[in-house]
């Protein structure tokens, strides 16, 4: 693929003066008003903020689902402004894994095929897709659930399928939008453990959007968004030495 | 994304919405079915008429007074037997010219009575027309010259009058005059609604006396080969025009009849197919409608696929293939049902039906085309969905 980001870049996301405004019935609404942000590879970041703060918009921009109105956004070192829609889709496919609050699994499709879906758009052969999806499901502890449909699984299991799907394409970053929002405490805990472990083991950066303080507390860095601006960017003291952002896996 | 992958996805989507897919296909199925059956009937009718004309015999030129056209009223004839002799001289071979004088008469045997077409003709008739005998003999030159009261019956007349009894040598009363039956024709069916099996042939001289007029209705000339037809046709007409400068004569050949009728019936078949095609178009609108609903319903799925890296064209392709698959499967089912229906009509009803490969190919092609045409708009809409909006939709 032509859009394979250069692996030499250690920076997962780099935003400079990022703005995004929407036109709502003729009125221009500024959702982001100039965000500067760097997220290195291997970081574990929580995006916090009340609803309407712009954190979802920021998440969509980081996920290449949307384009900034102005400012520069580099994803894996690639300036998204230089990409057309097709290249942007390819960048998304290669670089980013999504985990959604409501899982977003294809309802009538078995877990294995749900997990393999991103690889379909990468032109990977069927047998290889199967093998990789199997490996991803085993990695999230669902090796025994491969033929099950989402309706046959618990919420926690469904979210783990979604995490397997996010990881199957070997992304640089997993973007998780309220990943525990629809789960009970126990399952939420399990999903957080899984994300933490994946971050530690494979060095994939995790950016999670949440409004739950205890979920956010598990991230090593918290970015508070308010009124379209970054209000506070703090690093947990608990982060072990040597795993600070500047020295992160790269 | 590979095409095979898109095909698999589309099949899966159709399978999941089985009832809806079937109902949507139904429009296409009915349209294709109608095209195939109506074209089969039209073609069958054309074949049947062509067979009838060909069944007359080969290389026949019919000479009649006046301007001839299909359905034109017969012109009062002023031709008589001297003109037949004249045409025989012009043609050169007397055995290749025969004559006809027609009149509707009642024929009676004992208590059985039928209404039949009395045709006065001569001993050359069987050289030109294809009228095989079942029993007995044809009339001879002597029968004609001596005005014998002998008759050769059409198969239906013979059956109605004599039943299972062998009519040869028996008496039949035609228009009050007693005739002796010398032969019975094989059944040959009808031509242009003229039931030839209801004809009663007698010598032309006897017929003229019976009717009381020395006229004849027409002359038939047999050409020795297809190449000779046109020149012979012109020769005969020119000769008659020269003999009667103030009158018009026409000579029509089977080829001309076939051409005229073939054109008319082909047009008819075309019109029928076009009407059926409209229902196919309506089926296509149904496909478009359902695909639009499907796109709306699956907005979230589309958003998800895009988030996972589906390009615009991947999504477009997926939905377009789904639409084309709907109409193609519908088309194939329609073709199968149409062929089955045409065969059934052929077998169970007097309506002739002939299946033509071109109608099947056309119906298939059109149903694929309908899928593409009516699938593009919904597929484009799906492809252009904004992933952020699509993911948010509930």
Q: Do A117 and B16 touch (CB under 8 A)?
A: no
Q: SS3 of B51, please? A: helix
Q: Does one domain contain both B100 and B188? A: yes
pLDDT score for A19: 95
A195: domain CATH number? 3.40.50.300
A213 located within any domain: yes
Q: How many CB atoms lie within 10 A of CB B192?
A: 13
Rounded Cα distance, B104 and B198, in Å: 10
Residue of B nearest to A97 (CA): B308
Out of A66, A106, A120, the one facing B1 most closely (by C-beta) is A120
Judged by a CB distance cut-off of 8 A, whether residue B387 touches chain A is yes
What is the SS3 string spanning B254-278? HHHHHHHHHHHHHHHHHHHHHHHHH
* Residue A27 domain-assigned (yes or no): no
Task: Return the SS3 of B34.
Answer: helix
B206: containing domain = 67-247
- Is A77 a member of any domain? no
A13: in domain: no
Domain annotation covers residue B57: no
In this predicted structure, what is the pLDDT of residue B73? 54
> How many domains is chain B built from?
2
Q: What is the enclosing helix (H) or strand (E) of B13?
A: helix B3-16
Domain assignment of residue B61, yes or no: no
Average pLDDT over chain B, rounded to whole?
88
Determine the length of chain B.
394
- Across chain A, mean pLDDT equals 88
Chain A nearest-CA residue for B312: A86
C-alpha distance from A4 to closest chain B C-alpha (Å): 13
Rounded-to-integer distance, Cα A78 and Cα A93, Å? 14
Strand partners, A73: A15
* B391 touching A (Cβ < 8 Å): yes
Q: Looking at residue A244, what is its pLDDT? A: 44
My answer on whether B304 and B240 are in the same domain is: no
> Which residues sit opposite A221 in a β-bridge?
A45, A235
- Which of B223, B247, B271 lies at the terminal end of a domain, its last residue? B247
B315 band by pLDDT with thresholds 50, 70 and 90: very high
Q: Are residues B189 and B291 in the same domain?
A: no
pLDDT band per the 50, 70, 90 thresholds, residue B217: confident
> Does B312 sit within 8 Å of A89, measured CB to CB?
yes
**What is the β-pairing status of strands A96-99 and B218-222?**
unpaired
For residues A248 and A42, the answer to whether their CB atoms sit within 8 Å is yes
* Residue A120 covered by a domain: yes
Check whether residue B108 and residue B202 sit in a common domain: yes
- Tell me which chain B residue has its CA closest to the CA of residue A115: B308
Beta bridge partners of B102: B119
- Over 60: is that where the pLDDT of B167 sits? yes
In a domain, B103, yes or no: yes
Residue B350 has pLDDT above 70, yes or no: yes
Structure tokens at A83: 């990409």
What separation in angstroms does the CA of B148 have from each of A76, B110, B181, B208, B375? 113, 21, 11, 12, 78
Place of tokens 């799907």: A165
Cα(B333)–Cα(B25) distance, integer angstroms: 9
Contact across the interface for B311 and A98, Cβ inside 8 Å: no
Same-domain status, B162 and B267:
no
**B351/B378 same-domain check:** yes
Answer yes or no: is B60 within a domain.
no
Question: How far is the alpha carbon of A234 from chain B, nearest alpha carbon, in Å?
Answer: 28
* Cα A176 to Cα A160: distance, rounded to the nearest angstrom: 12
Query: What secondary structure letter does DSSP report for B187?
Result: P
Over residues B288-314, mean pLDDT: 92
Shortest CA gap B383–chain A (Å):
11
DSSP B173: E
Q: Are residues B45 and B80 in the same domain?
A: no
SS3 readout for chain A? CCCCCCCCCCEEEEEEEEEEEEEECCEEEEEEEEEEEEEECCCEEEEECCCCCCHHHHHHHHCCCCCCCEEEEEECCEEHHHCCHHHHHHHHHHHEEEECCCCCCCCCCCHHHHHHHHHHCCCCCHHHHHHHHHHHHHHCCCCCCCCCCHHHCCHHHHHHHHHHHHHHCCCCEEEEECCCCCCCHHHHHHHHHHHHHHHHHHCCEEEEEECCHHHHHCCCEEEEEECCEEEEEEECCCCCCCCCCCCCCC
A8-24 pLDDT per residue, tens: 446 899 999 999 998 88
Q: Write down the ipTM of this complex.
A: 0.88
pLDDT tens across A26-57, in order? 889 999 999 999 999 999 999 998 888 999 89
Q: Is residue A201 part of a domain?
A: yes
Q: Which of A60, A66, A121 sits opposite B309 (nearest CB)?
A: A121
Domain boundary at B247, B270, B298, which? Answer: B247
pLDDT tens digits for range A66-109 = 999 999 999 988 999 999 999 999 999 999 999 999 999 998 89
- Cβ <8 Å between B312 and A86: yes
Domain membership flag for residue A184: yes
| B207 has a pLDDT exceeding 50 | yes
Say if residue B238 is in the same domain as residue B270.
no
**Which of B10, B11, B14, B309 would best serve as a mutation to test chain A binding (most A beta carbons within 10 A)?**
B309
- Are A121 and B310 in contact (CB < 8 Å)? yes
Question: Tell me: the pLDDT tens digits for A116-156?
Answer: 999 999 989 999 999 999 999 999 999 999 999 999 999 99
For residues B354 and B207, state if they share a domain: no
Residue A221 class from Cβ within 10 Å (0-12 exposed, 13-18 middle, 19+ buried)?
buried
How many folded domains does chain A comprise?
Answer: 1
- DSSP letter at B331 equals H
d(C-alpha B115, C-alpha B317), whole Å = 71
- In the A/B pair of chains, how many CB contacts fall below 8 A? 59
| CB proximity B314 to A under 8 Å | yes
Which residues of chain A lie closer than 8 angstroms to B304, CB-CB? 104, 106
Contact residues, chain A, for B310 at CB < 8 Å: 89, 121
d(CA B67, CA A144): 90
Q: Show Cβ contacts of residue A8 under 8 Å, excluding neighbours closer than 6 positions.
A: A77
CA distance A188 to chain B (A): 22
For the stretch B90-143, pLDDT in tens is: 888 888 999 999 888 999 998 889 999 999 999 999 888 888 999 899 999 999
Longest dimension (CA), chain A: 53
A116: containing domain: 42-63+93-235
Q: Answer yes or no: do A65 and B306 touch at CB < 8 A.
A: yes
CA distances from residue B62 to B104, B234, B237 in whole angstroms, order as listed: 20, 12, 10
**C-alpha to C-alpha distances, A60 to A73, A115, A235, nearest whole angstrom:** 12, 21, 23
Contact A117 B387 (CB under 8 A): no
Looking at the fold, whether B48 and B71 belong to one and the same domain comes out as: no
**Closest Cα of chain B to A178: distance in Å?**
14
* pLDDT given at position B45: 86
Angle of helix B81-91 versus helix B204-211 axis, rounded to 10: 150
What was the pLDDT predicted at A1? 46
Please tell me the total number of residues recorded for chain A in this structure: 250
Closest residue in A to B310 (Cα) is A121
Asked whether residue B130 falls in the same domain as residue B108, the answer is yes
Answer yes or no: is B102 within a domain.
yes
* B309/A contact by beta carbon, under 8 A: yes
The model's pLDDT over B256-266, given as tens digits with 9 standing for 90+, comes to 877 888 888 88
* Domain match, B200 and B307 both: no
């Amino acid at each position: 693929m032509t859009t394979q980001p250069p692996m030499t870049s250690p920076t997962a996301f780099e935003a400079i003066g990022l703005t995004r405004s929407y036109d709502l019935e003729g009125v221009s609404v500024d959702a982001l008003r100039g965000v500067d942000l760097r997220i290195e590879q291997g970081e574990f970041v929580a995006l916090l903020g009340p609803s309407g703060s712009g954190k979802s918009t920021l998440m969509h921009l980081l996920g290449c689902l949307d384009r900034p109105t102005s400012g520069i956004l580099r994803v894996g070192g690639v300036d998204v402004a230089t990409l057309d829609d097709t290249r942007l889709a390819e960048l998304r496919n290669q670089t980013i894994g999504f985990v959604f609050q409501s899982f977003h699994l294809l309802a009538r499709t078995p877990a294995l095929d749900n997990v393999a879906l991103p690889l379909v758009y990468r032109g990977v052969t069927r047998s290889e897709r199967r093998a990789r999806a199997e490996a991803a499901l085993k990695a999230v502890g669902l090796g025994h659930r491969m033929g099950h449909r989402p309706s046959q699984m618990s919420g926690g299991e469904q979210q783990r399928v979604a995490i397997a799907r996010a990881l199957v394409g070997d992304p640089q970053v997993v973007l998780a939008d309220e990943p525990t929002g629809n789960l009970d405490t126990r399952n939420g805990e399990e999903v957080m453990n899984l994300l933490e472990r994946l971050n530690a083991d494979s060095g994939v950066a995790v950016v999670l959007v949440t409004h739950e303080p205890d979920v956010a507390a598990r991230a090593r860095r918290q970015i508070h968004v308010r009124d379209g601006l970054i209000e506070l960017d703090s690093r947990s003291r608990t982060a072990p030495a040597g795993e600070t952002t500047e020295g992160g896996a790269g | 994304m590979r095409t095979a992958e898109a095909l698999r996805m589309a099949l899966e989507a159709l399978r999941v919405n089985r009832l809806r897919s079937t109902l949507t296909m139904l429009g296409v199925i009915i349209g294709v079915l109608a095209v195939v059956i109506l074209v089969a009937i039209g073609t069958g009718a054309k074949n049947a008429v062509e067979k009838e004309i060909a069944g007359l015999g080969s290389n026949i030129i019919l000479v009649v007074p006046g301007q001839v056209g299909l359905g034109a009223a017969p012109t009062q004839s002023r031709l008589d037997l001297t003109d037949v002799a004249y045409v025989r001289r012009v043609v050169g071979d007397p055995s290749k010219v025969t004559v006809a004088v027609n009149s509707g008469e009642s024929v009676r045997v004992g208590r059985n009575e039928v209404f039949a077409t009395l045709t006065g003709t001569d001993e050359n008739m069987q050289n030109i027309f294809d009228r095989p005998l079942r029993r007995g003999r044809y009339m001879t030159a002597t029968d004609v010259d001596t005005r014998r009261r002998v008759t050769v019956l059409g198969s239906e007349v013979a059956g109605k009058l004599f039943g299972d009894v062998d009519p040869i040598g028996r008496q039949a009363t035609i228009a009050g005059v007693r005739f002796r039956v010398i032969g019975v024709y094989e059944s040959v069916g009808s031509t242009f609604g003229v039931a030839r099996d209801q004809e009663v042939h007698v010598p032309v001289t006897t017929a003229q006396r019976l009717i009381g007029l020395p006229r004849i209705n027409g002359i038939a000339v047999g050409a020795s080969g297809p190449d000779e037809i046109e020149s012979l046709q012109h020769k005969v007409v020119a000769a008659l025009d020269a003999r009667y400068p103030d009158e018009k004569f026409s000579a029509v050949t089977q080829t001309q009849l076939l051409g005229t009728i073939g054109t008319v019936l082909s047009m008819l078949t075309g019109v029928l197919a076009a009407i059926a095609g409209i229902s196919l178009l309506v089926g296509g609108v149904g496909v478009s409608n359902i695909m639009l609903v499907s796109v709306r319903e699956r907005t979230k799925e589309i958003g998800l696929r895009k988030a996972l890296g589906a390009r615009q064209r991947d999504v477009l392709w997926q939905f377009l293939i789904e639409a084309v698959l709907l109409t193609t499967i519908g088309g194939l089912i329609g073709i199968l049902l149409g062929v089955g229906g045409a065969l059934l009509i052929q077998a169970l009803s007097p309506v002739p039906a002939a299946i033509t490969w071109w109608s099947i190919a056309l119906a298939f092609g059109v149903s694929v085309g309908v899928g593409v045409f009516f699938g593009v708009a919904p597929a484009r809409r799906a492809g252009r969905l904004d992933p952020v909006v699509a993911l948010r939709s509930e």
